[in-house]
Amino acid sequence: MMPILQIKNLTKRYGGLTANNDISFDVAEGEILSVIGPNGAGKSTLFKQIASFVSVTSGEVLFRGKTISNLAPHVVARMGVVRTFQETTIFKSMTVRENIIVAHHLRSKASLLGFFLGSKLARADEAAFGKSADDIVDFLGLEAIRNELASNLPQGHLRALGMAIGLATGPTVLLLDEPFAGMNHDETMKMVASVRRLRDERGVTVMLVEHDMPAVMKISDRIVVINFGEKIAEGTPAEIQANPRVIEAYLGSEDAAIGM
Amino acid sequence: MTKTNLAGIGVFLLVVFVAVPMMIAVSGRWDFYYTLTSVALLSIGSAGVWLTFYIGRINIGQGAYALMGGYVSAVLMTKVGVSFWLTLPLAGLFCAVISVAIGLPILRLRGVYFAMITLVLTEVTRLTALALPVTNGAKGITSIPLPGALTVFGVPLIPDFATIENPKLAFYLLAVTLMVLTYAALWRIVNSRLGHLCRSLQQNEELASSIGVNTAHLRLLAYAISSFFGGIAGAVFVAISQSIYPSSFVVTDSVNFMLYCFVGGLGFVMGPMLGTFLLYFGWDLLSVAREYQLLIYSAAMIALMLVLPNGVLSLFDRREGPK
Amino acid sequence: MEQILANGFYLGAQYALIALGLTLIFSLMNVLNFAHGQMYVFGGFVTYTVVAQLGLPFIVGLFASAIILAIMGALIEVYLFRPVIRKSKREESTMLLAAGIAFFLDAAILLLFGEKQRGVPKIVDGVFNWDMRIIMPYDRILIGVLAIALIAGFIAFMQYSKAGRAMRALAQDRVAAQLMGVDVDRYSMIGFALGAMLAGLVGGLLVTITGINLGMGGPTSIKAFMMIMIGGAGVISGAIAGGFILGMMESVGLTMLAAYGDITYLAIFASLMVFLAFRPQGLMGKPWG
């Protein structure tokens, strides 16, 4: 079967600085793949390149065999590759439910004029979005904060909301940017379970960039390790934990130990 | 829409269409017609500026579109002999098209950068009007005919303004009708998906594009609608004054449009209307102070900023968002 | 051609000085000072009053403009901008305040100095004539040289004085500067005063050549905005470059496009838009957003 995402010789240079160099790997449909690496290894740039938020210097990203690199981010999102954000990137002055409803934009069948005039199709869309938003709220266990203003939410909920926004677009591939950062153990485990259910129940392919090693080991089908902008290893969690180059990369940095 | 909302709208319509004309007739203050007509037309322009605020852009260029709209209407009427009623939508459309061409490069700018370039746009439009032959330079275009009769399929809808006994009242009703239509459209925009997407753009452009919103298109659309409103307002002003000069709308007017929105409050659809009314009417009332008019007006504005930096309507509601 | 370049250079020096003040205020407090043009006009009227009404030497007038505008700038920062910045939810609120101040200064100028065009007698007579290639009155040359000297002085001040370094740190990164022990309030005030002073000084310089009137404030602000957009807002070298570029374009445009009527500014604006489409941060600005 053709991989759903193919990352081919991806390179990014900023002036004389090389952020990542000749990185290649594939993501299979329906898998959970994590990209890890010490701080400053180029994970973040790689992630943004895949979602097309950053241009590529050379190489390309293919989604179902079609190149998506250097397209506008909203075009890539329309094709089904949707990213979430690291920090508190949400629509702050909307409620949780409003955030999720707005994120249904890609699924609307009616035109903006149709919405303006309140056409039949638009009303059907609105009803469908409301219902779908409620489903997502239930799915991620956000019932208690459904009508809370997003700017009032605590950290942990913000991340769940970020994922809910991504989910609302109806993605084929969801790219999660450090979904466990700043969470305690319980919150992390809840999030791990949510991501797994996302894949199991909704068939979404998930690629994530993360620091939290125990969580990564628990959640991933496969792991790609990068260091100094280059891929140094790829394999199952067990293979990665046994790989001497990975251990070296982590011991050589000030980052936390690889957490086995 | 709730019952209270509907009742509010009913009262509002009664006041502007019935109570105001009656009160003016009773009090004999016919001059208020001109003031209130101006308020209504300026509110249309402010509604546009408010919409660009709604996508997170500070627009200090509405004067430019009011001027353009005015000239389009004036030129079409005097040189081509088109009826005023047809020039009205044409003026709006002309501004919308121009704003798309101008918006393509400048809407990528944010914050003060966008604000600065729109302000420059106003001045450049004035200079262009001075330079072009079709606008007749500094002499402007004068003796523009009053709006003629409007007949649709042989049905006379609006009589010829030149034959009306009280054109002041007619212009007032025209301006107020347009204002009501503008704000109804604005309310619909804000409370439909378009408005929700505009809000998403205002709050976080990156996140908006991650959920598939074509941010560049949406910005252009909002800016074009905004400029359409500006053009309409300008065209009616020309019909009232029957003349237009390059100085009919200048930088001060552009700044004023922005101030009306600020003062009314950026989180409320009715904010720009209220702001326009307060500032313009206030300015008019202050004319009794003669040479101290501007001093008092500006001092009051500065004081307002110190006391209520988030707009007058923020008194009633702390939460941002449409009402 | 030489004449066009000389005119452009002379204009550019004035413009750069105006843009410097505006960009300084912007870089320190992220405030777009709408009242900059009015401050310039105010400065011009102060010099006019001192020189033409009181009969004192030109240099005294210039000093008076500088001091009065500096005090005005400091007061405006401390009593108006500071509290509004502290209380408001959006940074745009400062724009409303700045516009209010611009109107207020317009009103104050009208009441204090009237609406007539004012000028002072020539400070130097004679015309420099190089073979009919460059013809320029001596007073223009003197003002141009003074403006350049002021620009040089300003750069030296920002580069070598303690206050200058503190302000540059503040412009770079407000929070970091605060952590490093820079007194943010104090240097915001000094910066605003300095920016206003520069505007006043240009007003004082130009009153000798073009005279001054109430209506010059708004257009001057607009030109200053264009300059800092060309050069990149908040960057000192950008303001200087923007000033000279606009001066040059204006001088070239007025000559070359004269046949087509007064469309210089339309041409400049169109090129500015094209330029910004490719380089939204201006020539020397930092990329943002």
Q: How far apart are CA A159 and CA A166, in angstroms?
A: 11
* pLDDT reading at A179 higher than 70: yes
How far does B93 lie from chain C, in Å, by closest CA?
Answer: 21
Question: Count of B–C CB contacts within 8 Å?
Answer: 141
Residue B192: both structure tokens together: 């439909």
Alpha-carbon torsion (A81, A87, A91, A94), positive or negative? positive
The pLDDT score that the predictor gives to residue B322 is: 40
- Which residues have CB under 8 Å from A77's CB, separation 6+? A83, A106, A169, A171, B209, B210, B211, B212
- Whether residue B214 and residue A168 make contact (CB cut-off 8 A), yes or no, is no
| Per-residue model confidence as pLDDT tens digits over B100-135 | 999 998 998 888 888 888 988 998 899 889 888 888
Neighbouring chains to A with at least 3 Cβ pairs closer than 8 Å: B
Is-contact A19 A226, C-beta < 8 A? Answer: no
The pLDDT score that the predictor gives to residue A251 is: 66
Phi-psi region of A22 (alpha: psi -120 to 50; beta: other; left: phi over 0): left
Query: Average pLDDT by consecutive 10-residue portion of chain C (289 residues)?
Result: 86 93 90 93 96 92 96 96 85 84 94 89 81 83 92 93 90 84 90 95 91 89 91 88 92 79 79 83 68
Q: What percent of chain A has pLDDT over 70?
A: 95
For residue C258, being part of any structural domain is answered with no
Q: Residue C56 phi/psi, 5° resolution?
A: -90, 165
Q: Residue B208 phi/psi, 5° resolution?
A: -60, -45
The pLDDT score that the predictor gives to residue A186 is: 87
Amino acid at C229: M
Interface test with B, best of C77, C103, C272 (most B CBs within 10 A): C103
C153 is in which domain, residue-wise? 2-215
Instruction: Sort out which chain B residues have CB atoms less than 8 A from C28's CB and list them.
Output: none
**Which of C104, C228, C263 minimises the CB distance to B298?**
C104
How far does B153 lie from chain A, in Å, by closest CA?
Answer: 26
Q: Which whole number is the average pLDDT over A145-160?
A: 85
Within an 8 Å CB–CB cutoff, is residue A53 touching chain B?
A: yes
The pLDDT score that the predictor gives to residue B80 is: 92
Highest mean pLDDT among A110-114, B27-31, C83-87, C146-150: C146-150
Q: How far apart are CA C33 and CA C246, in angstroms?
A: 19
Q: How far apart are CA C32 and CA C222, in angstroms?
A: 11
Residue B219: both structure tokens together: 């910005």
| Per-residue model confidence as pLDDT tens digits over A11-54 | 988 877 888 889 999 999 999 999 998 877 788 888 899 999 98
Q: How far apart are CA B38 and CA B257, in angstroms?
A: 12
Within an 8 Å CB–CB cutoff, is residue C81 touching chain B?
A: no
Number of structural domains chain C divides into: 1
For residue C166, being part of any structural domain is answered with yes
How far does B118 lie from chain C, in Å, by closest CA?
Answer: 10
For residue C209, being part of any structural domain is answered with yes
Alpha-carbon torsion (B260, B265, B269, B271), positive or negative? negative
| Per-residue model confidence as pLDDT tens digits over A70-107 | 899 999 999 999 999 876 788 888 999 999 999 998 88
Task: Find the closest chain B residue to C277 by CA distance.
Answer: B105
Task: Find the closest chain C residue to B130 by CA distance.
Answer: C262
DSSP-based three-state secondary structure for B237? helix
The pLDDT score that the predictor gives to residue C57 is: 93
| Per-residue model confidence as pLDDT tens digits over B51-60 | 999 998 999 9
How far does B306 lie from chain C, in Å, by closest CA?
Answer: 6
Is-contact B243 B140, C-beta < 8 A? Answer: yes
- Whether residue A91 and residue B199 make contact (CB cut-off 8 A), yes or no, is yes
- Whether residue B199 and residue A101 make contact (CB cut-off 8 A), yes or no, is no
- Other CB atoms within 10 Å distance of the CB of residue B30: 12
Mean pLDDT of chain A: 87
Task: Find the closest chain A residue to B209 by CA distance.
Answer: A74
**Which of A74, A118, A126 minimises the CB distance to B213?**
A74
- Other CB atoms within 10 Å distance of the CB of residue B206: 13
Within an 8 Å CB–CB cutoff, is residue A103 touching chain B?
A: yes
- Whether residue B116 and residue C228 make contact (CB cut-off 8 A), yes or no, is yes
ipTM of predicted assembly, 2 dp = 0.85
- Whether residue C106 and residue B115 make contact (CB cut-off 8 A), yes or no, is no
**Boundaries of every domain in chain B:** 32-250
Instruction: Please name the residues between 179 and 218 in chain C that touch chain B, using a CB distance below 8 Å.
Output: 218
| Per-residue model confidence as pLDDT tens digits over B212-255 | 999 999 999 999 999 999 999 999 999 999 999 999 999 889 99
Highest mean pLDDT among A64-68, B25-29, B68-72, B77-81: B68-72
Residue B78: both structure tokens together: 């005097």
pTM of the model: 0.88
* pLDDT reading at A253 higher than 70: no
* pLDDT reading at B317 higher than 60: no
- Whether residue A101 and residue B209 make contact (CB cut-off 8 A), yes or no, is no
pLDDT-based confidence at A258, cuts 50/70/90? Answer: very low
The pLDDT score that the predictor gives to residue C12 is: 93
Q: What is the CATH number of domain A1-79+219-260?
A: 3.40.50.300
- Whether residue A84 and residue B214 make contact (CB cut-off 8 A), yes or no, is no
Residue with tokens 């922005």: B258
